[in-house]
Amino acid sequence: MARLFSSRQPPSEDLFYETYYSLSQQYPLLLLLLLIVLLGLLALLPVAWASGRELAGDPAFLTTVLCALGGFSLLLVLASREQRLQRWTRPLSGLVWAALLALGHSFLFTGGVVSAWDQVSFFLFVIFTVYAMLPLDMRDAVTAGVTSSLSHLLVLGLYLGPQPDSRPALLPQLAANAVLFLCGNAAGVYHKALMERALRATFREALSSLHSRRRLDTEKKHQEHLLLSILPAYLAQEMKEEIMARLQAGQGSRPESTNNFHSLYVKRHQGVSVLYADIVGFTRLASECSPKELVLMLNELFGKFDQIAKEHECMRIKILGDCYYCVSGLPLSLPDHAINCVRMGLDMCRAIRKLRAATGVDINMRVGVHSGSVLCGVIGLQKWQYDVWSHDVTLANHMEASGVPGRVHITGATLALLAGAYAVEDAAVEHRDPYLRELGEPTYLVIDPWAAEEDEKGTAGGLLSSLEGPKMRPSLLMTRYLESWGAAKPFAHLSHAESPVSTSTPLPEKALSSFSPQWSLDRSRTLRRPDDELDTGDAKFFQVIEQLNSQKQWKQSKDFNPLTLYFREKEMEKEYRLSALPAFKYYAACTFLVFLSNFIIQMLVANRPPALTITYSITFLLFFLLLFICFSEHLTKCVLKGPKMLHWLPTLSVLVATRPGLRVALGTAAILLVFAMAITSLVFLPAASTCPFQAPNVSSMASNLSWELPGSLPLISVPYSMHCCVLGFLSCSLFLHMSFELKLLLLLLWLTASCSVFLHSHAWLSDCLIARLYLGTLDSRPGVLKEPKLMGAVSFFIFFFTLLVLARQNEYYCRLDFLWKKKLRQEQEETETMENLTRLLLENVLPAHVAPQFIGQNRRNEDLYHQSYECVCVLFASVPDFKEFYSESSVNHEGLECLRLLNEIIADFDELLSKPKFSGVEKIKTICSTYMAATGLNATSGQDAQQDAEQSCSHLGTMVEFAVALGSKLDVINKHSFNNFRLRVGLNHGPVVAGVIGAQKPQYDIWGNTVNVASRMESTGVLGKIQVTEETAWALQSLGYTCYSRGIIKVKGKGQLCTYFLNTDLTRTGPPSATLG
């Protein structure tokens, strides 16, 4: 077994369970068994002395008891070291069983005449404890139990077979012994099977709970990472509560509120600096890239910028195409926020200069910085992105737009905060855009002190293009160089080893392989060698397993009262006591088996007077009624075929299983019936009578006397009545889920009744049996081991304490099983909630069809996610009037109330996405008061290319209807807010590239000429109109929509374009020329 634990392969769950079963459950019982045996042996000495026997006069008895005391004491010493010598558990258990068996056989031939009923109760004790208290598997236990039974029967059969005919008939007694042993074995197998089943279930539930707890911890980490990837920490908790409320109210919906407004998570911060940066020349470069190159390039570039931002205590806000902007001074105020932004801008320019020098690609970085105050937070219900708003943010944006490539353009407010840290020069007036000219304030360009030196190094270093060859595309040169920056992949933390373990392997392999037999469970947290230490998950594993140790029931616990084992929470205690018990019918069936055994024994060794026959007939009837009630559900098919008035019968078993009061009443009645019938044969005798074998001159006619008393009661039925009483004790242990206090009450009642009958009211029967057995012998008084009433009483007490120990053990594990099931349910519910929370968070960052690519083990590789599409419809919808509406004054809390209205607009727009007809619409982002969305992104790769162009753009109609719905929503808001906002919408369709970039704040975005043109359609559009390109107009007309020409307009970066306005009436002009599937 040691090799099994020390092998490289971790042991199986079954092997680990067996080790746990031996150490934590059976090991304490083995110690208790040895203690009970030792106490029983010690009790024999005072019992013998109290009965008036001289111990010195019976050397065989004294020697047997003293040798047994020494042997079992040695075994107890060995067993107490068993936790360090676990590999010897099985041999030691066999040694204990062999010692008990040898002790029983020694008792058979010590102290007087050997009889067929001698030590039957002791052997019954050995048989039952082999199953219930020794750490043996079922096969070994059955072998030991059957061997114990056969050894008693064979030894007595061979020894008593040649006895004279004057002795009672041997065969009925051996048959009665066989029935007793068979019942003991059956009860033992039943007890062991149910306990092992319960223990294994508890063990698996504990492991499932551990697995669920680890999954829960992982999900909590995932959702924390996800939340922090969207929001700063100071907003994360508040937003998390919002999501939890949405989960409770129903997926996708928002919780009921006391007002008509959506929650607003925006706060004002003063003393911050805002940096805007744009990559000049990137649009031309991107048009030459493959989708993979584009996404990799953006991820590496912005990943590098994120690293620079982290170094300079700046927080990246958002990525808009190739535009990057961040803030310093959030969420905590920083005195040097302006210096941080300027340093970051200079470092960004240096990084681009190095890139240009190394690759020869003509790109540059334009940076603008302004200092002031901002409103920061999140608006809308979906695709949350932390953002900032204020006039100062708008100014920073214009500073970038009017800046100089390769330079950092700052305002006077930022210059004042630099306190001379950098030299500056005046920016040329011609660089200013109309917004800056209107302000009329001077602006400055920061002089980079390292620029000249870096230019010299860049020129001396040569170009990467000269090494790679003149024919390599610039985009490929860029990609090759940027890969050396090693930016982290988006959501990399979700695919690490923290991912939830597979449900098919709930056991942590490291914990299994580190478990050794020399290491006891209650020492699992002691110090070990540094190279052998367990990780946190494995430590939790051993903590959970240690909680299953039965010795814990005696220690202080937050769940149990160590004395009564009651749950400390009253509600949990009530739930436990009211819980259903489907196995009750099996308890009743096994109790009937004990009753049947008692009946057979009584029929074998006692006469059959009419009163006994009537009594048993009534009892059988009651038991059959009990079994019918318990198993009535199995008769459903038969009952349903009968009269309707009997159709209620199958519900009886359900009532028994679910009604605790009914179960207790029926269980108690069954046990009391077994108790009562065990001594029924004695009830019909007088409480005291004269024994004919104790009369004078009886010895001369001993051979002519029978073994029956007046009233036709055979004397040999007296010890067998005691053995039946022992079976009555066993019947009490068969009800595993019966409460400990009720078992204690019943056992005490039966112990008192049995001792009263055999030691007091009917003690003369035992004396009479001894008188008849020793009639004509020189010594008319046997040793204490041969006197039925004394050995019966000793047996009663031994079984009482043994079954009391088992009852306590059963109670503990029944409650522990209930506790783990409840914990498992709670953790599974919490895990499910966390998984839903993680899913909602991830879908708030990524589209639903992209999110599975980044969930734990579902992630198949470490490549960046990118996807190209042939036909995607892109929408930009803005509320231009909001810029004029927005103001910062004390009346509107410095613009906060204006943002509250914008939040209502965006949130209402987001609510449209939950409608089934807009399920294909994917929100991309919001840019101030501009809403960006797309359709056609959930098509599988290559699917569009395989379909004709007309069919591939069927989703354009969905986008048009969505745009109209946005306008309707805005009209409703206007009505309630007394405003006159109008929507300006631009639509375009064509090929795009989609991908996920950014490790610090992963962001899903789409790029391509289609996106740029759609944006221009909005910016050059007209209020209340939907402007589209000529290609999109033709596609929409093929779907049945009406478009009319606007004419030729000038579009920045595209020249002269012919555009169209869409008729916004949803009623189409006629059937579409091409329907799409």
Enzyme catalytic residues? 1016, 1052
The number of CA neighbours under 13 Å toward the Cβ of 463 is 14
Whose tokens are 């969905």? That residue is 958
Buried b (16+ CB within 10 A) or exposed e, 991-1000: ebbbbbbbbb
Whose tokens are 């409840």? That residue is 822
Determine whether 982 is exposed, middle or buried from the number of CB atoms within 10 Å of its CB (0-12, 13-18, 19+): middle
**C-alpha span between 513 and 410 (Å, rounded):** 62
The sign of the CA dihedral 760, 762, 768, 774 is: negative
Which three-class secondary structure state does DSSP give residue 429?
Answer: helix
Determine whether 830 is exposed, middle or buried from the number of CB atoms within 10 Å of its CB (0-12, 13-18, 19+): middle
**C-alpha span between 1030 and 1036 (Å, rounded):** 10
Which residues make Cβ contacts (< 8 Å) with residue 590, sequence separation at least 6? 186, 187, 190, 734
Helices (H) then strands (E): counts for the chain: 38, 18
Question: Cβ distance 367 to 275 under 8 Å?
Answer: yes
Query: Structure tokens of 606?
Result: 């006692």
The number of CA neighbours under 13 Å toward the Cβ of 570 is 0
Helix (H) / strand (E) element for 836: namely helix 788-843
| Amino acid occupying residue 399 | M
Buried b (16+ CB within 10 A) or exposed e, 848-866: eebbebbbbeebeeeebbb
Contacts 24+ apart (CB under 8 A), 322-326: 322/278, 322/279, 322/282, 322/283, 322/286, 322/298, 323/276, 323/277, 323/278, 323/279, 323/400, 324/276, 324/277, 324/278, 324/348, 325/274, 325/275, 325/276, 325/277, 325/396, 325/397, 325/400, 326/274, 326/275
Query: Structure tokens of 127?
Result: 């048989």
Asked if residue 434 has a cis previous peptide bond (ω within 30° of 0), the answer is no
Which three-class secondary structure state does DSSP give residue 406?
Answer: coil
532 phi, psi to nearest 5 deg: -115, 10
**C-alpha span between 918 and 682 (Å, rounded):** 86
Q: Which of 985, 936, 994, 935 is nearest to 965 (CA)?
A: 985
Buried b (16+ CB within 10 A) or exposed e, 655-675: ebbeebeebeebbbebbebbb
- CA angle in degrees (0–180, nearest 5) for 98-99-103: 115
Question: Cβ distance 319 to 302 under 8 Å?
Answer: yes
| Amino acid occupying residue 143 | T
711 phi, psi to nearest 5 deg: 105, 5
- CA angle in degrees (0–180, nearest 5) for 787-789-793: 120
Buried b (16+ CB within 10 A) or exposed e, 255-270: eeeeeeebbbbbebbe
Q: How far is CA 405 from CA 184, 301, 352, 429, in A?
A: 95, 17, 10, 15
Residues in a beta bridge with 995:
866, 1005
